[in-house]
Amino acid sequence: MAAFDQKPAEFTVYSAAPWLIEGSPEAVNPLFDHAPVVEMPAHRERYFGIEDWVCRVEEGVIATYAIHPDMQNQMTGLFGAGSLLGAFKALMHERSQTPALIMKALTPVRARRVSAHAFVDFLAADDHAAAPAYLYLLRQHEQQMEGMLLNDLLPVDVRLARIVDTLFRAKGAELEAHLKPVPIPVTVLQLAEMVHADRAFVSRILSKWREAGCFSREGRRLFFSKGMFETF
């Protein structure tokens, strides 16, 4: 019984990069390696959830958002290089007639796309690909749930610091002691949407961080340091 009462020396509920969907398993590469290429310029938006395709992001980062007619949109996930978009719905055979999500290219995006039927048929015909693909999609769902739980349970300043750190990790970069520009250009409004918070409230946190020396801006570019984790 004593073992259940002990806490690890370093206990972390959330992953290092909540919201960020990891790369897909190598087992699905044969399906996508020669698939048609599609591109989205930075800041382009389109409805998501009614598609009949699955795509693998080759370059860039896509964010998905829940649509709220009476309030600002709320981010549900970040899809970086190697991640699959639309795969879960393809397997569940669920296609909404009314889109509840939008997808937005945070950077220029290059992806390879196959039909939902081709994806399902590929996994049905290849047991060696199916098992890692199903495990990947479970992990994808877990990563999105982590992000949503974090947004529901943690204070806004903690959420804001975590999403900034995640944006750095999405491009293979790290926060440091000195100020560095966010490698994925975002606005204050976008940060607010990502952490499900009011823009004015996020602006007040950034003002506090500016006074602490862990945030600055030059025009539209936002700069952060890991010192923001020492402010709460």
Looking at residue 1, its pLDDT comes to: 42
Q: Which of 88, 94, 109, 100 has its CA nearest to residue 42? A: 109
Could you give all domains of the chain from N- to C-terminal order, each with its CATH number?
Answer: 10-152 (2.60.120.10), 154-230 (1.10.10.10)
Looking at residue 99, its pLDDT comes to: 60
Q: How far, in Å, CA of 50 to CA of 98, rounded? A: 7
Q: Is 131 helix (H, G, I), strand (E, B) or coil?
A: helix
Q: Which of 95, 78, 48 has its CA nearest to residue 164? A: 78
Q: Which of 175, 169, 185, 154 has its CA nearest to residue 227? A: 175
Amino acid at 105: A
Q: Which of 25, 18, 50, 55 has its CA nearest to residue 38? A: 55
Looking at residue 98, its pLDDT comes to: 56
Q: How far, in Å, CA of 161 to CA of 57, rounded? A: 26
Looking at residue 10, its pLDDT comes to: 40
Looking at residue 101, its pLDDT comes to: 85
Q: How far, in Å, CA of 53 to CA of 90, rounded? A: 7
Give the angle 224-227-231 at the CA atoms, nearest 5°. Answer: 115
Give the residue ranges of the chain where pLDDT is below 70: 1-16, 93-99
Beta-carbon count within 10 A of 155 CB: 11
Looking at residue 2, its pLDDT comes to: 45
Give the angle 78-82-84 at the CA atoms, nearest 5°. Answer: 65
Alpha helices in the chain (DSSP H): 2-5, 29-32, 87-92, 116-125, 127-153, 156-170, 188-194, 199-212
- Positive/negative CA dihedral, 223, 226, 229, 230: negative
